[in-house]
Amino acid sequence: MDFELLAELLFPHIDKTPAEMEAIYPPRTLPEGAKVTRFAPSPTGFVHFGGMYQVMIDERLAHQSGGVLYLRIEDTDAKREVPGAAQSLIRTLAHYGVHFDEGAAIGEDGGIVGKGIYGPYKQSERAVIYQTYAKQLVREGKAYPVFSTPEELEKTLAADKKTENKTKDWEANAEEAKKEMLANRNFTIEQVKAELEAGHPFVLRVLADGDGEKKVHFTDLIKGNLELPENEEDFVLLKSDGIPTYHFAHAVDDHLMGTTHVIRGEEWLPSLPKHIQLFRYLGFRLPKYLHTAQVLRMDEEGNKKKLSKRDMGAKMEDYDAMGYPPESVIEYLMTLLNSNYEEWHAVNPTLPYTEFPFSVKKMSTSGCLFDFDKLNDVSKNVISLMPVEKVCADLTAWADAFDPDFAACLKADPAVTQAIFSIGRGGKKPRKDFANWKEAKNFVQFFFDPYYAIEEPVTEFSADEIKAVLEDYLASYDPEDDANGWFEKVKAVAEKNGYCTNMKEYKANPDGWKGSIGDVSTFIRVALTGRKNSPDLYTVIGILGAERACARIRAYENNL
Ligand code: GLU
């Protein structure tokens, strides 16, 4: 077989050699030890929490070593592509503060552009590059075409659709496919000419040289030493439209773009022998691989399940809707990524996560468990340490997007909003009342008249008992009183009405009184806030203003 001629027949339009490509994309010059990583999502609609987990590893490894992190859009599967998805994932990553040094970005006209000299960074625009290497493989007798008539192609495409075009369709028909491939390995130049003249499309398959009975040995930086069967499948390199499969694009792109460390999901691990073979065929140096374990969740029965896209928290946009600050999600991710992060953070509470010595060795090999309770704990802490200006700005931005009525309340008087969120902020032990902006709204909404409602009525005392206390309270209330003066008056009201002001004494003999000072506070609290729990009452009154506070108490009494 004249492979040179075959290559020319199949790729007449390709006029560059791989060597010329290498000259266009020379190796990167980076300091010793600098790592080049990439995030390579397919634009299928959203960023998965597991993707965010991966991109954090990419980011830390690159930037911690003075290297490069770039973004590549893997849009070779047009059927699965969702319009606008690339833009939305770029925005999501930016929202989480992931900084790409290079790669796909949103251009001025809203389209995807490439920033950097190793582009295009969108695979659909790299067809000529892939075909240059494909042509070389044909020249070397390492790849061959398999023709099909348009009708056959139609049929395969339909079958692909059914199996969602997963590599599994090969496995399902392995025997059949193998026979076809072997037959296709023995064709003549005349046959190829005839097929091309008839206008029949072809896919390009690799000529597998592995033996499935033998093992390739390999070290994954997360999973450790592994053994996998050699590749013996003549897998597809180029589809009939000349667009590569994931395997081929991975080899060509990660080589030309100078990736040193490939971080990707463990679902790619079974394909690794294919990649090892391809890198060898192409004369490329194999990058280091880190296959990340799946993110798991606990189901109702206490079993670990994969965090699937239907689960709350699987899509990064879920966190926006619930109002988790991106800082909280990132902080939580860090705790999942490295088991010693929390300990470090406790010792260095004010340092950003970028100062943490992230280590691949401290990563879980078996799968990390996603847990909302833990996220909430982390987030409460993160929010409690935020300056009040940031809380107000971020909460308002969230409300603008997801709750415009509440946003209007927050914006009506910025000084009031700031006073509300200053409660319990600062100091050694800041309050940790809410984990996200939705909870923050719930926590403070009583301050705003449109949301004020009696959510937790007092049921242990009669209306007359409550009214008697509140009447005395209003009669003695003086807006000029300081916190102490105010509290002394509340105590006096309690005593006058038969409520014990000493909790110790009260507990020793609860039947000796109508109730305690705690009950008196509850009457006032429920009247002012609608709830039995709230921030410090004197502060609440200060924010509501004397007039509004008294009006609420009167309205409450009238409705009892
Ligand atoms: N586009 C692939 C995916 O979304 C990327 C895998 C990789 O990072 O190599 O699964």
Residue partners of 72: CB distance under 8 A and separation at least 6: 38, 39, 40, 103, 104, 121, 122, 123, 253, 257
Q: Collapse the DSSP code of 431 into the 3-class scheme (helix H, G, I; strand E, B; otherwise coil) and give the result.
A: coil
Quick count: other Cβ atoms within 10 Å of Cβ 253?
Answer: 21
Report which ligand 1 atom has the smallest distance to the Cα of 250.
9
**96 Cα–ligand 1 center, Å:** 20
User: Which residue is closest in CA terms to ligand 1's atom 3?
Assistant: 41
Domain end: 292, 319, 347, which one?
Answer: 292
Q: Retrieve residue 189's tokens.
A: 């130049």
Any idea what the CATH number is for the domain that residue 145 is in?
3.40.50.620
Buried b (16+ CB within 10 A) or exposed e, 483-518: eeebeebbeebbeebebbbeeeebeeeeeebbbbbe
Q: Collapse the DSSP code of 486 into the 3-class scheme (helix H, G, I; strand E, B; otherwise coil) and give the result.
A: helix
Question: What is the distance of C-alpha 161 from the center of its chain?
Answer: 28
Indicate whether 297 belongs to any domain.
Answer: no
Using alpha carbons, select from 337, 425, 342 the residue that is nearest to residue 378: 342
Indicate whether 306 belongs to any domain.
Answer: no
94 and 7 in a common domain? yes
Any idea what the CATH number is for the domain that residue 342 is in?
1.10.1160.10
Residue partners of 7: CB distance under 8 A and separation at least 6: 135, 136, 138, 139
Mean pLDDT by 10 residues, the chain (560 residues): 95 97 96 97 92 97 98 91 92 96 97 96 97 98 88 64 49 66 84 95 94 94 95 94 96 98 96 97 98 90 89 92 96 94 92 95 84 96 96 98 98 97 92 96 96 96 97 96 97 97 94 96 98 94 96 96
**460 Cα–ligand 1 center, Å:** 61
25 and 173 in a common domain? yes
Element spanning 229, H or E? strand 224-229
The four Cα atoms 505, 510, 512, 514 give a dihedral, to 10 degrees, of: 110
User: Which residue is closest in CA terms to ligand 1's atom 7?
Assistant: 264
Question: What is the distance of C-alpha 262 from the center of its chain?
Answer: 18
**250 Cα–ligand 1 center, Å:** 8
Supply the range of the domain harboring residue 201.
Answer: 1-292
Question: Which residues face 204 on adjacent strands?
Answer: 145, 238
Residue-level pLDDT at 170 = 52
What count of Cα atoms within 13 Å lies in the side-chain half-sphere of residue 213?
A: 0
264 and 130 in a common domain? yes
Any idea what the CATH number is for the domain that residue 545 is in?
1.10.10.350
What are the respective helix, strand and coil percentages of the chain, to the nearest 5? 50, 15, 35
Domain end: 351, 369, 384, which one?
Answer: 384
358 and 476 in a common domain? no
Indicate whether 500 belongs to any domain.
Answer: yes
Quick count: other Cβ atoms within 10 Å of Cβ 150?
Answer: 12
369 and 224 in a common domain? no
119 and 30 in a common domain? yes
Testing ligand 1's pocket by substitution, the residue of 55, 71, 74 carrying the most ligand atoms inside 8 A of its CB is 74
Contact 142, 149 (CB under 8 A): no
90 and 10 in a common domain? yes
Indicate whether 321 belongs to any domain.
Answer: yes
Q: Collapse the DSSP code of 120 into the 3-class scheme (helix H, G, I; strand E, B; otherwise coil) and give the result.
A: coil
88 and 15 in a common domain? yes
244 and 232 in a common domain? yes
Quick count: other Cβ atoms within 10 Å of Cβ 188?
Answer: 9
Report which ligand 1 atom has the smallest distance to the Cα of 54.
8
The ligand 1 site (C-beta within 6 Å) comprises 40-42, 74, 250, 262, 264
123 and 12 in a common domain? yes
Testing ligand 1's pocket by substitution, the residue of 264, 267, 274 carrying the most ligand atoms inside 8 A of its CB is 264
Q: How many folded domains does the chain comprise?
A: 4
Rounded-to-integer distance, Cα 221 and Cα 312, Å: 30
323 conformational bin, left if phi > 0, alpha if psi -120 to 50, beta if neither: left
Indicate whether 34 belongs to any domain.
Answer: yes
Element spanning 144, H or E? strand 143-147
Rounded-to-integer distance, Cα 295 and Cα 314, Å: 9
Indicate whether 253 belongs to any domain.
Answer: yes
User: Which residue is closest in CA terms to ligand 1's atom 9?
Assistant: 264
Indicate whether 440 belongs to any domain.
Answer: yes
Rounded-to-integer distance, Cα 556 and Cα 278, Å: 76
Residue-level pLDDT at 470 = 98
Indicate whether 300 belongs to any domain.
Answer: no
Using alpha carbons, select from 78, 134, 122, 115 the residue that is nearest to residue 252: 134
Using alpha carbons, select from 20, 245, 206 the residue that is nearest to residue 127: 245
**288 Cα–ligand 1 center, Å:** 15
Report yes or no on whether pTM surpasses 0.85.
Answer: yes
Using alpha carbons, select from 208, 165, 211, 161 the residue that is nearest to residue 185: 208
193 and 326 in a common domain? no
The DSSP code for 231 is: P
Phi, psi of 250 (to 5 degrees): -55, -50
Report which ligand 1 atom has the smallest distance to the Cα of 39.
8
User: Which residue is closest in CA terms to ligand 1's atom 10?
Assistant: 41
CA angle (252 as vertex; 251, 257 as ends), nearest 5: 105
549 and 468 in a common domain? yes
